[in-house]
Structure 1
């Protein structure tokens, strides 16, 4: 059966979003049994192995020799940011009872990317993107608001970790966007896994923890490491061969729905209805941001063809 490029891109993007959605599920299940340091060693150890095999298959290693000093410095900055941001991400997964809550609030990321792109790259956002940003902020507030008036207890515990992770992730997105032409995406992925594995090993030693973990946790980590650091990245890259980034972003906006369904099937519980409503508002906001980007690119294309 022959598929069109658009269909291929859609299918690979859909596989990518299902894979990354399951990261929330399997990491939550594993973190219920092990410490973050133990989790990190196995999760990023497996992930590092899968991406090294993929890099060998794609014959990427010769590119490493061609990297400039600037590229290594960029990888170093990204690595430090990714270590801290990823730690806070899994800290949020560990702290918040339902992973779908984390997924919905994490929709703040595209908002922060737009803001940082405006401040650093001098990119402007249109009215559709602005509307989407406001909806995401409203939705995130509804999800995380506890109903208290005291600033220290205004939001549910763990919201702060998602915010820290989103800020660092958005910063990295802008850095990568500025330098994607000089550093291969697979090299970026190898560097990320390497930094996170080294950090996890150091934290494990510092806390004097054992690598002995329950078999059920190891099983969840093994499956999650294939879905997360490997399958999400690979299918995400392949999808971009067939569809535009803006189209992929629209498909990726459904991530929260898959996490919501997966959380119910795996853990047997739904978040409160108010949180679900807030989550759907964030999804609509992300969709508007994606449509706003598409409209912006169409306008630029029209101007360029008119000159």
Structure 2
């Protein structure tokens, strides 16, 4: 039905906007506080919201019924989320413009696609190949700063974004293969709990105080509510009405949203060559997403 498709695309668009807010509000907060301080408050808010939603939806009743293998998967996902999220926010802290971080992060769907081919033997068309090449070229242009040695060839933080993309793709593969019987609410809560515990440990290791500026606390509260909770929830709601591949088409425009929000909030724009590379990477990811959506549609027709 057209109304269902509209709802699906609407939820996907809201998810894209709210997820983009993570880049903005986390950057604003990290400009004032240590990464460990940031993590404690950010993931405390995320855990409270996620756990509350888990209880409200009744998803907690499935916890005692989890098999040992599922507990191991949740633990594996927890470790991967720590590596993914720590590298993500570290890159946000290092790279001055959140839009640049977002554009380089377009390597994630490229890596995820390659992993799907290698490990799941998924189909890969020449159109997707073209999109992947564009995204890779765009990421290279954004990261390149003209140095003569490998250490200063790319901007600081670019390597961390690459590491983040790899771990994020790995976590997505684990979810895709192993956790079909686990609810989204449980996965979100598991993620928030692991990250909160890790942040508390890092707070103690670095001997940081829980006292932070009020402005930073406000930015954390807004970002943690919109990003880790509402963005993920809206993404899953979009899946109820449209296919994952179609939702991904909308989400591929995240970089544009971050660019606009970054300009409005921080009054900054990437350098001309970074902007060109960023647009190229967005186009590449958009092509990959559209191609996957068409393949998904053809598969349904054949079935």
What TM bracket, shorter-length normalisation? over 0.9
Task: Report what 2:229 is aligned to.
Answer: 230
Residue pair 1:128, 1:291 contacting (<8 A) in 2 also: no
Q: Structure 2-normalised TM-score? A: 0.97
Q: Secondary structure at the match of 1:135?
A: helix
Task: Report what 2:7 is aligned to.
Answer: 8
Task: Report what 1:291 is aligned to.
Answer: 290
Is the counterpart of residue 189 in structure 1 residue 219 in structure 2? no
Residue segments in structure 1 that go unaligned for 5+ positions in a row: none
Q: Secondary structure at the match of 2:45?
A: helix
Task: Report what 1:102 is aligned to.
Answer: 101
Task: Report what 2:255 is aligned to.
Answer: 256
Matches for 1:151-300 after TM superposition, within 5 Å: 151-300=150-299
Per the TM alignment, residue 28 of structure 1 is displaced from its structure 2 partner at its CA by: 0.0
Per the TM alignment, residue 10 of structure 1 is displaced from its structure 2 partner at its CA by: 1.5
Per the TM alignment, residue 294 of structure 1 is displaced from its structure 2 partner at its CA by: 1.9
Is the counterpart of residue 40 in structure 1 residue 39 in structure 2? yes
Per the TM alignment, residue 292 of structure 1 is displaced from its structure 2 partner at its CA by: 1.5
CA deviations on 1:257-294 (whole Å, 9 max, x unpaired) are 11111111111111111111111111111111112212
* Distance in 2 separating the partners of 1:256 and 1:284: 10
Residue pair 1:71, 1:182 contacting (<8 A) in 2 also: no
* Distance in 1 separating the partners of 2:187 and 2:222: 22
Residue pair 2:245, 2:296 contacting (<8 A) in 1 also: no
Task: Report what 2:117 is aligned to.
Answer: 118
Per the TM alignment, residue 83 of structure 1 is displaced from its structure 2 partner at its CA by: 0.3
Task: Report what 1:145 is aligned to.
Answer: 144
Task: Report what 1:17 is aligned to.
Answer: 16
Residue pair 1:240, 1:248 contacting (<8 A) in 2 also: yes
Q: Structure 1-normalised TM-score? A: 0.96
* Distance in 2 separating the partners of 1:50 and 1:4: 29
Residue segments in structure 2 that go unaligned for 5+ positions in a row: none
CA deviations on 1:190-248 (whole Å, 9 max, x unpaired) are 11101100000000011111100000000000000101111101111111111111111
Per the TM alignment, residue 54 of structure 1 is displaced from its structure 2 partner at its CA by: 1.1
